[in-house]
Amino acid sequence: MASPSPIAVNLTVMALLITAVASATPAATSYVNHTVGGDAGWFFNSSTNTTVADYSKWAANQTFNLGDYLIFRTSSNQTVVQTYNETTYKSCSTDDALDSDTFLYDVGIDQFGQPLSIAVPLTIEGPNYYFSDADDGVQCQQGMAFQITVDHGLGLPPSLNQPPPPPYSEPPPPPDSSLSPPSTVAGGSNGGAVGADANVRLVVGMIILSVAGSFLVI
Ligand SMILES: *[C@@H]1O[C@H](CO)[C@@H](O)[C@H](O)[C@H]1NC(C)=O
Ligand SMILES: *[C@@H]1O[C@H](CO)[C@@H](O)[C@H](O)[C@H]1NC(C)=O
Ligand SMILES: *[C@@H]1O[C@H](CO)[C@@H](O)[C@H](O)[C@H]1NC(C)=O
Ligand SMILES: *[C@@H]1O[C@H](CO)[C@@H](O)[C@H](O)[C@H]1NC(C)=O
Ligand SMILES: *[C@@H]1O[C@H](CO)[C@@H](O)[C@H](O)[C@H]1NC(C)=O
Ligand SMILES: *[C@@H]1O[C@H](CO)[C@@H](O)[C@H](O)[C@H]1NC(C)=O
């Protein structure tokens, strides 16, 4: 038997690496509510100009998954801004922020010092950034800010599949319209035949791919 091709060896190494990484990360078994800052909550002390907790340290000591919530136990002296845009995060300001990637959890209270609890669902995988833009950005500059990475975990529960932020948008139509069902192909029997041809090509292509795949694995 011929010695394994470099591609097959690479695939085997990749498979081993993926298995190792998967088993090193504990699997999520349920959705978790993370109280930001732990018992201290999400507060800025304006007399000392300091945060009541180290939020970056707090965030580093947690695992975040889709469908989890961040619970901000706070007051109306702080704000909660969620953004997926690192530039906005680093600016400590929403002035130039885009509506599509930045959300102010505005609870509509215009008096200072009112107790609040704000629940923020984690609905997008990858980097998520949070800060308070109160006091013209001073709170954020003084540490009312943190970054997390959201992992897939169990995926979004049905209740969050179409969350308020971001708004749901229709997926774009498939680029190759000949692959859509015959009923949507314009123009009678000829259109149907084109669709059938495309389906045959697709199936043949898949068989070739799977034959090629098993050849590499052997
Ligand atoms: C987590 O917080 C959300 C939003 O407030 C709430 O609906 C849910 O019941 C909480 N889950 C747990 C386990 O406390
Ligand atoms: C702010 O810090 C000062 C000094 O540590 C403390 O006396 C005060 O109670 C704090 N205020 C709040 C609202 O935590
Ligand atoms: C988080 O902090 C607690 C107590 O400070 C510690 O026991 C725990 O091991 C830490 N967890 C992680 C994931 O760092
Ligand atoms: C909330 O902000 C107001 C106005 O800046 C200030 O007077 C008040 O002391 C603050 N409350 C706390 C608990 O920091
Ligand atoms: C991030 O936000 C800034 C404004 O703060 C904007 O100029 C930039 O285009 C945004 N980046 C992306 C990738 O949308
Ligand atoms: C708080 O810190 C900021 C710098 O981020 C500074 O500009 C401001 O004067 C400080 N305020 C007080 C009350 O010390």
Measured in whole angstroms, the distance separating CA 164 from the mean position of its chain's CA atoms is: 14
Q: For residue 196, give the amino acid letter.
A: A
What is the C-alpha separation between 85 and 98, in angstroms, rounded?
A: 9
Q: What is the pTM of this model?
A: 0.71
What is the C-alpha separation between 212 and 40, in angstroms, rounded?
A: 57
pLDDT tens, residue by residue, 92-134: 999 999 999 999 998 888 899 999 999 999 999 999 999 999 9
- The residue nearest atom 1 of ligand 6, judged by CA position, is 49
pLDDT tens, residue by residue, 71-99: 999 999 999 999 999 999 999 999 999 99
> In this structure, is the dihedral angle defined by the CA atoms of residues 32, 116, 40 and 125, taken in order, positive or negative?
positive
Is the minimum distance from the CB of 215 to ligand 4 under 6 angstroms?
A: no
In this predicted model, which residue has the larger pLDDT, 175 or 62? 62
CATH architecture for segment(s) 32-160: Sandwich (2.60)
Distance linking the first and last C-alpha atoms of the chain: 11
What separation in Å is there between the alpha carbon of 33 and the centre of ligand 5?
29
Residues of the chain with CATH 2.60.40.420: 32-160
Of the ligands numbered here, which is closest to the C-alpha atom of 72? 1
Residue 86 Cα: closest atom of ligand 5: 1
